[in-house]
Amino acid sequence: MAENSAVARMARLVEEAQSSRSNTQRLIDTCAIYYTPAVVFMSAGVAFIPLMMKLHNPQHWFRLALVLLVSACPCTLVLSTPIATFCALLRAARMGLLVKGGDVLEALSRVKVAAFDKTGTITRGEFTVKEFRVLNSDISLQTLLYWVSSVESKSSHPMASAMVEYARSNSVEPKPDDVSEFLIFPGEGIFGRIDGKDIYVGNKRIVARASSGKVPSMEGLEGVTIGYLVYGRELVAVFTLSDSCRTGSKEAIRKLKSLGIKSVMLTGDSTTAANFAQNQLNNALEEIHAELLPADKVRVINDLKSRVGPAMMVGDGMNDAPALATANVGISMGVSGSAVATETSHITLMSNDIRRIPQAIRLARQTHLTVLVNIIFSVATKIAILGLALGGRPLLWAAVLADGGTCLLVIFISMTLLRERDIKVKKKKCCGSSKKRLSCKSEKSCAKQNCCDSHIHVKHCHSPSHSHAKQNCCDSEAHVKHSHSPSHAHPHSHSHSPKCNGAKVSEEHERCLTSFHDHAAESEPRDCHSNCCD
């Protein structure tokens, strides 16, 4: 059906995002309903009550009423949140993130813990069959592959496509039309009836459901997902599949940690497979929860919310949908993810690059800060103008200028969210002139210094520590390298002293080099921090 296509789903999500408002915006809109009439009545009272009481200088009171009306107008306050939210949503869309509304950004800015599904989220979800072991010699491999591939072809799980491809590589073509009945057991596996035969495919829970007896031990297998094929009540085959982590998974988790967010894994896969993925990530995850049913994932999410704080769930499958709905923020992986996960989640990641998630959190925090700045600035400006008016200087032109100016300024501040920000580390410049001298210092670590008057690079290499001191001077282009070791040091030789286009090396620099030679064999070598040339 066209209404169930990926494009139609995305269109519905865009409509939801446009109609959704953040909690801050709802609060401001609610206050504005009562605030605006109150300001109008107050201004009318200031203008007409003195006139009715026949007070002197009615022009002053009328001007004061106009200043009060213009200054207290909530235009800037009303604009402060929706403009910033709109710019943030547009920026998120450029990043490949479809956010359902401003309230989602507000919740995302407060996230303290991120829970990731394993298959298709942390890992690629591109399985390959490593082994297919037949346990019943009376049934041929081709027959088993026909059963499992025909049933799996009805499923959208990443493992299903791997089994279908494996069957085809063994010259077995799946026949989904032969499957007369098909059922999905979330967190367990699938069931299909072929030619009147009951076929179960899944993890060890599906074996228990089929009542086929004890699950065989699969010791010594690492980094694989184990699947079982049950025919009727008999376990007839065991197969293993392997998957690998996405390229950006480790980087994304590291960036989340730098943002103060804890990362955990929630998976229905085996503990062995979960630990293998953790090893691939260099133990970046702080918690691992394996062999979970969808209800178990919901329980863990609620536990994380109570222990750590607002939780975010990232997943792609039907099994993740309850956890996505339970989390404060649910993020589904890509348009290719399951329709249930996409509809349930608050954010849809249009690509499979989870490195976008830390960027989204930074954007949400920037948006929250921008809204606060807009509100504080607009309120402070109004208070300042009102203070002048009540102090006896009702400047109408200042009130009009402040009202229009703050509106424009709020818009410009909000538009900074559209700008791509690349954080670059700026190198320190040591000096502005070669005439400046810096004294020699003794440090444990390498010292790098960029001087602005030359391009000479003096590199000191000394063992056993092999630390380096680099100096860039500005008046020459000579490159001088000194190599020092305890066995080849020449403490008092000046034949290797650098020259700067014929200029003498400064005496202080030579003393520093001599001191450097003398301390080359010490555990804490000295680094030279002086300019080269006189």
Cβ pair 508, 437 in contact under 8 A? yes
- Contacts (Cβ under 8 Å, ≥6 apart) of 212: 200, 230, 233, 234, 235
pLDDT confidence band for 204 (50 / 70 / 90): confident
Nearest-angstrom CA–CA distance, 384 and 405 = 14
Report pLDDT digits (tens) over 279-310. 989 999 999 999 898 889 999 999 999 999 99
Q: Is 104 exposed, middle or buried (0-12, 13-18, 19+ CB in 10 A)?
A: buried
Question: In whole numbers, what is the pLDDT of the chain averaged over residues?
Answer: 75
| Most confident option among 110-119, 240-249, 370-379, 495-504 | 110-119
Q: What's residue 24's pLDDT?
A: 61
pLDDT score of 500 more than 60: no
Q: What's residue 396's pLDDT?
A: 72
pLDDT confidence band for 127 (50 / 70 / 90): confident
- As beta bridge partners, residue 472 has 450, 457
Describe the strand order of the beta sheet including 224-231 as a list of residue ranges: 128-134, 234-242, 224-231, 197-202, 189-194, 179-185
Cβ pair 241, 118 in contact under 8 A? no
- As beta bridge partners, residue 179 has 194
The DSSP letter of residue 520 is T
pLDDT score of 505 more than 50: no
Report pLDDT digits (tens) over 5-40. 545 554 554 455 445 555 666 666 676 677 677 777
Cβ pair 531, 453 in contact under 8 A? yes
Nearest-angstrom CA–CA distance, 268 and 272 = 11
Among the listed residues 97, 108, 107, 123, the one whose alpha carbon sits nearest the alpha carbon of residue 265 = 123
Among the listed residues 95, 82, 19, the one whose alpha carbon sits nearest the alpha carbon of residue 407 = 82
pLDDT confidence band for 87 (50 / 70 / 90): very high
Number of CB atoms found within 10 A of residue 233's CB: 12
Report pLDDT digits (tens) over 331-368. 998 755 677 778 888 999 988 889 999 999 999 999 99
Whose structure tokens read 């169930």?
A: 4
Nearest-angstrom CA–CA distance, 484 and 196 = 83
pLDDT score of 370 more than 90: yes
Report pLDDT digits (tens) over 37-64. 777 777 777 777 777 777 777 777 777 7
Q: What's residue 523's pLDDT?
A: 39
Nearest-angstrom CA–CA distance, 329 and 346 = 6
- Contacts (Cβ under 8 Å, ≥6 apart) of 10: 98, 335, 348
Name the least confident of 249-253, 386-390, 512-516. Answer: 512-516
Nearest-angstrom CA–CA distance, 91 and 48 = 49
Q: Which amino acid is at 16?
A: E
Instruction: Work out the percent of the chain whose per-residue pLDDT is above 90.
Output: 28
- Contacts (Cβ under 8 Å, ≥6 apart) of 177: none
pLDDT confidence band for 517 (50 / 70 / 90): very low
pTM: 0.65
pLDDT score of 256 more than 50: yes
Contacts by 175-179, CB closer than 8 A, 24 or more apart: 175/146, 175/150, 176/150, 178/150, 179/150, 179/151, 179/154
Nearest-angstrom CA–CA distance, 322 and 344 = 8
Report pLDDT digits (tens) over 396-438. 777 777 778 888 888 999 999 988 664 343 434 444 433 333 4
Structure-derived torsion over alpha carbons of residues 368, 371, 373, 375, reported in degrees to the nearest 10 = -140
Angle at 418 between CA 412 and CA 419, to 5 degrees: 95
- Given the residues 117, 243, 353, 453, the one annotated as active site: 117
For the chain, list the domains and their CATH numbers: 2-89+371-418 (no CATH), 104-123+248-359 (3.40.50.1000), 128-242 (3.40.1110.10), 441-527 (no CATH)
Q: Which amino acid is at 119?
A: T
Among the listed residues 442, 462, 458, 466, the one whose alpha carbon sits nearest the alpha carbon of residue 526 = 442
SS3 for 116-184 is EEHHHHHECCCCEEEEEEECCCCCCHHHHHHHHHHHHCCCCCHHHHHHHHHHHHCCCCCCHHHEEEEEE
For range 499-505, the mean pLDDT: 44
The DSSP letter of residue 417 is G
pLDDT score of 530 more than 80: no
Pairing of strands 128-134, 454-462: unpaired
Let me know if 117 is a catalytic residue: yes
Nearest-angstrom CA–CA distance, 261 and 309 = 10
